[in-house]
Amino acid sequence: MSRIHDMGGRFGDGAVIPDTPDAPVFDKDWHARALAVTLAAGALGQWNLDISRHSRERLAPKDYSRFSYYEKWMAALANLLVEKGVVTEEELQAGHAKGGSPLADRKLMAANVGAALAKGGPVDRPGPTPRFKPGERVQTRHPTANAFVAGGHTRLPSYASGQTGEVRAFHGCHIFPDAHAHGRGEDPQPIYAVAFPAQALWGAGADPRDEVILDLWEPYLERADG
Amino acid sequence: MPHDHDHDHHHAHAVLPSEPALRVKALETLLTEKGLVDPAALDAIIDTYQNKIGPKNGAEVVARAWADPAFKAALLADGTAAVSEMGFYGRQGEHVMVVENTPEVHNMVVCTLCSCYPWPLLGIPPAWYKSDAYRARAVREPREVLAEFGVTLLPTQKVRVWDSTAEMRYLVLPMRPEGTEGLSAEDLATLVSRDSMVGTGLAQGPAT
């Protein structure tokens, strides 16, 4: 089964509210601060992007729903800091340090911010020979689930689970989030752009010409019959 | 089957102050005191995304593609290489794919699972892109969502929605507006809105 973040196709969320062209990048000062603290803490190297994403996804559904975007980031960061032993829960509660940290030499300094952001974190790796070619039809795993850990991180949305689509492109081999989020190494896997007809996903009400394309790792896919 | 996730029952965040601004302040203070965060580095990160990296980068790419057919071909063939050559490689833009709008296809980008977005080209995503409503509805009823943005498609256009489920980051190359022949790349860039590069807007012709 999936988690609360997996909301593609869900009903009941109301209208999308576009912003104005002059809207600020950060609505509130603390939004900017939350983003910056999260990036700076990530630079300590105690977790990867997939662990970080999973930390947000596994917030309790009631917290995920009531928290604004950057509140989710804060809660997930606080949990990770304690789980990884970077700070203690006691320190978190007090809001003050009881002592230093062996990680202090990894601190991201202002002078290095530009270079760190420019460097990025590419995820392409040497990996297995791809099983599928563009034009071939594939069926997605059903139900969507992490095959290693119950309730673990996975990137096949529920709405595209158990569906038949067409491979449009092979993107190379990328780090496999289902493994990488759970201490199982990078486990690079072939990844493909797979197209699904909108009517297959949503029924006859969808425009027959429309389609949705997702980037899916090979372990999510089987060859479709016929 | 492995047992349920140990971490599901951990709610360390609950000990933080209830006011969000104080929550952030508490984390920043604690990490600074532990020698793990340099407040000046936080300022530098914020300055980067507030003032240096934003949709102007993407607009420069689009305008160049409109003005230079060889660049456009290179951009569509290998987006990462083409934008890197312009200095727009970086965090959350390590694997870039550019998708072209035509009279037959309108492209639109979403991340239903979180908020993946091409930072080096468009900056930090706007609130609507990260909203539950956009994440939930863009895949199921893209035409209704486009209408909420005031976008009218050509009757000939199908809609192709890209759900950013992996580290591929998508930039929409909007159609070049009518009446822009002879404009410089610099002038063309002013016509390229952020939303037109996400696919929730169209590039607008010059004001008359």
The CA distance from B65 to the nearest CA of chain A, in Å, is 22
Q: Cα(A47)–Cα(A51) distance, rounded to whole angstroms?
A: 6
Give the dihedral of Cα atoms B35, B37, B38, B41; nearest 10 deg: 160
The CA distance from B155 to the nearest CA of chain A, in Å, is 11
**Which residues of B are catalytic, by number?**
111, 114-116
Q: Cα(B97)–Cα(B76) distance, rounded to whole angstroms?
A: 7
The CA distance from B77 to the nearest CA of chain A, in Å, is 12
User: Tokens 């580290």 map to which residue?
Assistant: B167
Encoded tokens for A192: 């493909």
Q: Cα(A184)–Cα(B121) distance, rounded to whole angstroms?
A: 32
The CA distance from A226 to the nearest CA of chain B, in Å, is 25
Q: Which chain B residues have a beta carbon less than 8 Å from that of A154? A: none
Q: Which helix (H) or strand (E) holds B188?
A: helix B185-189
Distances (CA, A) of A115 to A222, B10, B44: 41, 35, 11
Nearest CA in chain A to B121: A118
Q: For the purposes of burial, counting CB atoms within 10 Å of the CB of A121, is it exposed (0-12), middle (13-18) or buried (19 or more)? A: middle
Q: Cα(B146)–Cα(B159) distance, rounded to whole angstroms?
A: 10
Q: Is B9 an 8 Å CB contact of chain A?
A: no
Q: What is the ipTM of this complex?
A: 0.97
Q: Which chain A residues have a beta carbon less than 8 Å from that of B46? A: 26, 32-33, 35-36
Residue B48 and residue A114: Cβ atoms within 8 Å?
A: yes
Domains recognised in chain B with CATH numbers: 18-51 (no CATH), 54-198 (3.90.330.10)
Residue A210 and residue B158: Cβ atoms within 8 Å?
A: yes
Residue A58 and residue B30: Cβ atoms within 8 Å?
A: no
Note the CATH number of domain A29-119. Answer: 1.10.472.20
Q: Is B21 an 8 Å CB contact of chain A?
A: yes
Identity of the residue in A27, A33, A121 whose CB atom sits nearest the CB atom of B28: A33
Q: Is B165 an 8 Å CB contact of chain A?
A: yes
Which alpha helices (H) appear in chain A, and where do they start and end?
Answer: 29-42, 49-57, 61-66, 69-83, 89-94, 113-119, 177-180, 198-202
Q: Is B199 an 8 Å CB contact of chain A?
A: no
Q: Which chain A residues have a beta carbon less than 8 Å from that of B168? A: 171, 191, 193, 215
Query: What pLDDT score was predicted for residue B79?
Result: 98
Residue B31 and residue A40: Cβ atoms within 8 Å?
A: yes
- Three state DSSP letters for B8-74: HHCCHHHHCCCCHHHHHHHHHHHHHHCCCECHHHHHHHHHHHHHHCCHHHHHHHHHHHHHCHHHHHH
Residue B1 has pLDDT above 50, yes or no: no
β partners of residue A165: A138
Mean pLDDT of the region B9-34: 92
Query: What pLDDT score was predicted for residue B208?
Result: 61
Q: Is B155 an 8 Å CB contact of chain A?
A: no
Taking the CB of residue B180, how many other CB atoms lie within 10 A of it?
17
Residue B192 has pLDDT above 90, yes or no: yes
Residue A216 and residue B166: Cβ atoms within 8 Å?
A: yes
How confident is the prediction along chain A (226 residues), in pLDDT tens digits per residue? 789 999 999 999 999 999 988 899 999 999 999 999 999 999 999 999 999 999 999 999 999 999 999 999 999 999 999 999 999 999 999 999 999 999 999 999 999 999 999 999 999 999 999 999 999 999 999 999 999 999 999 999 999 999 999 999 999 999 999 999 999 999 999 999 999 999 999 999 999 999 999 999 999 999 997 6
SS3 A63: helix
- Write down the domain spans for chain A: 29-119, 137-223
Q: Which fold has domain A137-223?
A: SH3 type barrels. (2.30.30)
Query: What pLDDT score was predicted for residue B10?
Result: 66
pLDDT tens for B58-116 read: 999 999 999 999 999 999 999 999 999 999 999 999 999 999 999 999 999 999 999 99
pLDDT tens for A103-116 read: 999 999 999 999 99
